[in-house]
Amino acid sequence: MAKQPKITYKKAGVDIDEADRAVAAVRKMARRTFTPGVLTDIGSFGGGFLLKGYQQPVLVSSADGVGTKLKVAFLTGCHNTVGEDLVNHCVNDIAVQGAVPLFFLDYFSVGKLDAKVAAEVVSGISRGCLANGCALIGGETAEMPGLYARGEYDLAGFIVGAVERKRMITGSTIQAGDLLLGLPSTGLHTSGYSLARKVLFEVAGHGADTQLAEMGGSVAEELLKIHRSYLTPLRALHDAGFLKGAAHITGGGITDNTPRILPKGLGVRIKLGSWPVLPVFELLRKLGRIPEQDWRRTFNLGIGMIVVISPRRLKKVAKILGSLREPWYHIGEVVRGRGVTYK
């Protein structure tokens, strides 16, 4: 009878040594993001953070992913930007409620771990955390053979921020007549990639390296543009007492995201043509013959954040945004009714 071969964890598809190499790289990058509140090092079973300076702190948390934008990273071999996308997306989600980001955790899962790729992904996370003053205090790197296609992985992030209870932005003071100001996006951010990839790669037959005159670069360059953070302008407006509400424009577009911040009985009227729709969105609409309603509910169309202000504060708000060199567009108003209308 043949001798049964020894089966190790590595032969089963999990390489603990490669995981150790990945964690060593992560630890070095994460330590650069540590703020005074961090109490534990990377590798602890849990991350500890000391919350100071608040009287009645409200912890605001969010979890998100990068969606099928990851498919573009796999296709191009460019893995050092999706982590920054992830952090900025999560930061925006809590900043609209007035929260300052405190700490971040990531979840990176893959079929076969490559420490170099993992380090590239985390480099983006580290860069995003540094830019937003947020500490990367932990996470999980999971190697799960057979669950993912070769060369693919999944990525998720978890953020916690804090705001004084009395300063939390709830949208409760929004009223008819308030103004909607749109802050520009860099591109698709992290929404609509399933439709964009189908249109560009399948319908139009483009490759990642295809140069498109309308966008001034390649398909890959356009699709990998980083989802920007709006923390700085939101904090400036909030600190000045001018921010009545803010909506992060992600999946669902302006149509679905703006009503989420409105009190009952109110809707918004959006002024068509009041901001420049980015060329990539016009190109996608043309190539895919995308119905207008779908187009508006899938993409941000060049507006990544909407802020709601009182009309009497417009000059002061414009001055603040101008001092930050933050472009803005008056894109609509709050009205009585419900939902979003475009005129």
pLDDT on residue 45: 85
What domains sit in the chain, N to C, each tagged with a CATH number? 16-167 (3.30.1330.10), 179-342 (3.90.650.10)
Per-residue pLDDT of 300-317, as tens digits, reads: 999 999 999 999 999 999
Q: Please state the three-class secondary structure of 120-137 as a single string.
A: HHHHHHHHHHHHHCCEEE
pLDDT at 13: 65
Half-sphere exposure of 293 (CA within 13 A, CB side): 2
Q: Cite the beta strand spans of 185-315 per DSSP E.
A: 211-212, 217-218, 245-248, 266-270, 303-309
Instruction: Report how far residue 168's alpha carbon sits from residue 286's, in angstroms, rounded to the nearest whole number.
Output: 42
* pLDDT for the residue 258: 97
Task: Kindly tell me if the per-residue pLDDT of 190 is higher than 70.
Answer: yes
Per-residue model confidence (pLDDT) at position 1 = 57
**Conformation bin of residue 30: beta by default, left when phi > 0, alpha when psi is -120 to 50:** alpha
Interval 98-111 mean pLDDT: 96
pLDDT at 44: 83
Predicted pLDDT at 18: 72
> For residue 140, is pLDDT > 80?
yes
The pLDDT tens digits of the residues spanning 287-299 come to 999 999 999 999 9
pLDDT at 215: 84
* pLDDT score of 69: 97
Looking at per-residue pLDDT, the higher value among 173 and 11 belongs to 173
Confidence of residue 139 (pLDDT cuts 50, 70, 90): very high
Characterise 312 by phi-psi region: left (phi > 0), alpha (psi -120 to 50), beta (else): alpha
In the β-sheet with 329-336, what is the strand arrangement from edge to edge? 245-248, 303-309, 179-184, 329-336, 266-270, 339-342
pLDDT of residue 3: 66
pLDDT, averaged across the chain: 93
pLDDT (tens digit, 9 = 90+) per residue, 1-14?
A: 566 666 565 656 66
pLDDT in tens, 14-60: 667 676 777 777 888 889 999 999 999 888 889 999 999 999 999 99
